[in-house]
Amino acid sequence: MTAPAPSVVRTVRIDEMRVGELLAEGGEGKVFTLPLQPHLVLKSYRRPASRSFLEDLVAWPSTTRRADLAGRVGAAAAWPAAVALDRDANAAGLLMPRAPRRFALRHRDGTTRLASLSYLTADPAHRAMAYGLSLPPDVSPERLGLVYALARLLHAFEVGPPSVGHGDLSTKNVLWSLQRGPEIFVIDCDNCERFGAGGLPLGGAGRRRAMTPNWDDPAVKGGANPTLASDRYSLALIFLRVVGAANFPIQARQRQDGAITVDFAMSPGPVASALLDPDAAIWRLCSAGLGVARPEARPPASAWVAALEGVLDAVGASEVIRSVCAVQGGDRSEPAPPCHGGAGDVSIRPVLGPPRPRPRWTMVGADPTPAMMPWHRPGPGLPPGSPPPASVVGPARPLLPEVLAYIRRGFQWWVELHRHTASALMSTGRRADGLRSLVLCAFVDLLAAIVGLFSVAMIVAPVMGI
């Protein structure tokens, strides 16, 4: 253990930054791009915020006693980078990391969306038919690896001190990618709360924290805020819904204060075979994590890290562990104490179901298996010419809609560029910026004219016999 680093608090003035276009808008505020800092976004609050609270939140990673865990937070979470101040030096928002491009998915129609967990909580075949996406099958090493990556991040949150609870680990706030191996990116981290040694929140009294319906903790009642134990509930629920590729609507039944049994159906395969034992450690963890009668008995994230490493090792997917550690930093976990179960109000029953229907797959681009998913190896007994795993192939997509989508987005950008230039030239204080934009417009228009004339010539020349 090393000594805690000194606190690092960054503040910036909003009126000294160049604020770009609106990215998103919600109940708490608006999110804007920062053209001069494209790796960041500005989240501007609708109502005044506590400057001291936000400064403590920004400084939290620099106060942790372990640099490797702080690095894990920086790699897997959009942790607030600076407090944004208005002209009166009041806290008006936060600068936060923008999700890298690999945490996005392109639909069949050419539109791009953030790759949230919602894509993984339903049958992959249904998602393929609806959006033209190629998603990993249920109970696959990729899905286990994503939960493993999230558990490692939550372990860093819990260690502290002080510990941190996100409170809203919902389908919209956890992004995922498989480009560099299973990887997650947690957003909306300004919802986080710091907790002291006794489990009491360190933030200001009366602060309301969001919880997304269908992802909220049934043990939190009467409009109370989520606790540290709420993240542990979310982790267990994410395991069910992401690994099982199904919704598992259990919260309504849990609010009736009765014991429930959850049937976890799995398609046949190596991972399913390893998880069929109802007394396996992973099911004891899941049952205890979903418990409502005694939330304090929910197992910590470190127990999940150790258990998932055991499952991945057992199915020959140790490369998943190495790829997650390479992205987040650090090594495999230290052995965690066994979980003996929670209050007994939730029971998980693994069952082997029929194989799920799969769409007909065709290759999309080069096979990324060697570089991106090295744990996929042809197993013994596979006949020559076996197709690659469904997670690296996808249904064939027509080219024309994608080309038209690119043209449409390019035209929208062209219109916005000219509109910005005209606005800047008409503004007294922005004419220098407007002149720079005017030069860019002239270059873009000239290039577009050349491309257009060349395209026309290519069409007309054969007709005229040139």
SS3 248: coil
- For the stretch 396-444, pLDDT in tens is 344 455 455 557 656 766 776 777 677 667 766 566 767 877 888 888 8
Half-sphere exposure of 128 (CA within 13 A, CB side): 21
- Residue 342 lies inside a defined structural domain of this protein: yes
Q: List b or e across 135-159, with b for residues whose CB sees 16 or more CB atoms inside 10 angstroms.
A: bbbbbbbbbbbbbbbbbbbbbbbbb
Pair (231, 369) in one structural domain:
yes
Specify burial of residue 455 (Cβ count, 10 A radius: 0-12, 13-18, 19+). exposed
Residue 30 has which token pair?
């608006």
The enclosing domain of 94 has a CATH number of 3.30.200.20
Measure the CA–CA gap between 275 and 260, rounded to whole angstroms: 20
* H runs (alpha helix) in 172-317: 228-238, 251-254, 270-275, 281-289, 301-314
Which parts of the chain sit beneath pLDDT 50? 1-7, 359-399, 402, 463
* 221 in any annotated domain: yes
Classify strands 11-13 and 82-85 as parallel, antiparallel or unpaired: parallel
**338 cis-preceded (ω within 30 degrees of 0):** no
CA distance 134 to 50: 44
Q: In terms of domains, do 334 and 427 share one? A: no
Domain that holds residue 251: 101-202+210-397
Question: Cα–Cα distance between 154 and 69 in angstroms, integer?
Answer: 10
Alpha-carbon span 412 to 408, nearest angstrom: 6
Classify residue 269 as left (phi > 0), alpha (psi -120 to 50) or beta. left
**Domain presence at residue 215:** yes
Buried b (16+ CB within 10 A) or exposed e, 414-437: eeeeeebbeebeeeeeeeebbeeb
> Residue 218 belongs to a domain with what CATH number?
1.10.510.10
Same domain, 326 and 186: yes
pLDDT given for residue 414 in this prediction:
73
Rounded CA-CA distance 418/194 in Å is 46
Considering only CA atoms, which of 234, 238, 100 is closest in space to residue 157? 234
pLDDT at 440: 84
- DSSP labels for 109-158? TS-EEE-BGGGGSS-HHHHHHHH----PPTT-HHHHHHHHHHHHHHHHHH
- H, E, C per residue of 182-196: CEEEECCHHHCEEEC
Pair 139, 226 in one domain: yes
Decide if 131 is inside a domain: yes
Q: Which two tokens stand for residue 139?
A: 């109970």
Last-in-domain residue among 369, 397, 425: 397
The per-residue pLDDT for 377 is: 35
Q: Rounded distance, CA 157 to CA 328, Å?
A: 14
pLDDT at residue 204 in the model: 67
Of the candidates 129, 199, 137, which has an alpha carbon nearest to the alpha carbon of residue 164? 199
CA distance 84 to 13: 6
The single residue listed with the structure tokens 């606190």 is 7
Residue 278's SS3 state is coil
Same domain, 163 and 288: yes
The Cβ-side half-sphere exposure at 54, using a 13 Å CA radius, reads: 24
Same domain, residue pair 192 and 117 = yes
Same domain, 93 and 117: no
**Same domain flag for 261 and 377:** yes
Structural domain count, the chain: 3
pLDDT of residue 408: 62
Task: Read off the amino acid at residue 226.
Answer: P
Cα 291 from chain centroid? 25
Residue 307, CB half-sphere, CA atoms under 13 Å: how many?
A: 24
Would residue 116 count as lying in a domain?
yes
Domain end (from 397, 417, 443):
397
Sign of CA dihedral 175, 150, 125, 376: positive
**Domain-embedded: residue 70:** no
Same domain, yes or no: 56 and 108: no
For residue 169, give the amino acid letter: L
Domain presence at residue 71: no
**Statement to judge: residues 262 and 130 lie in one domain:** yes
**Residue 159 and residue 143 share a domain:** yes
CB contact burial 244-266 (16+ within 10 A = b; e otherwise) = bbeebebbeebeeeeeeebebbb
37 and 132 co-located in one domain: no
Give the per-residue pLDDT at 458: 65
Concatenating the DSSP letter of every residue in 311-356 gives HHHHTT-HHHHHHHHHHH-S-PPPPPPPP---SSSEEEEEEE-PPP
Q: Give 264's strand partners.
A: 350
Residue 262, CA distances (Å) to 4, 218, 259, 288, 370 in order? 43, 16, 10, 13, 37
Boundary-marking domain end, from 397, 416, 447: 397
- Burial label for 379, CB within 10 Å (0-12, 13-18, 19+), is exposed
pLDDT score, position 398: 45
DSSP state of 241: I
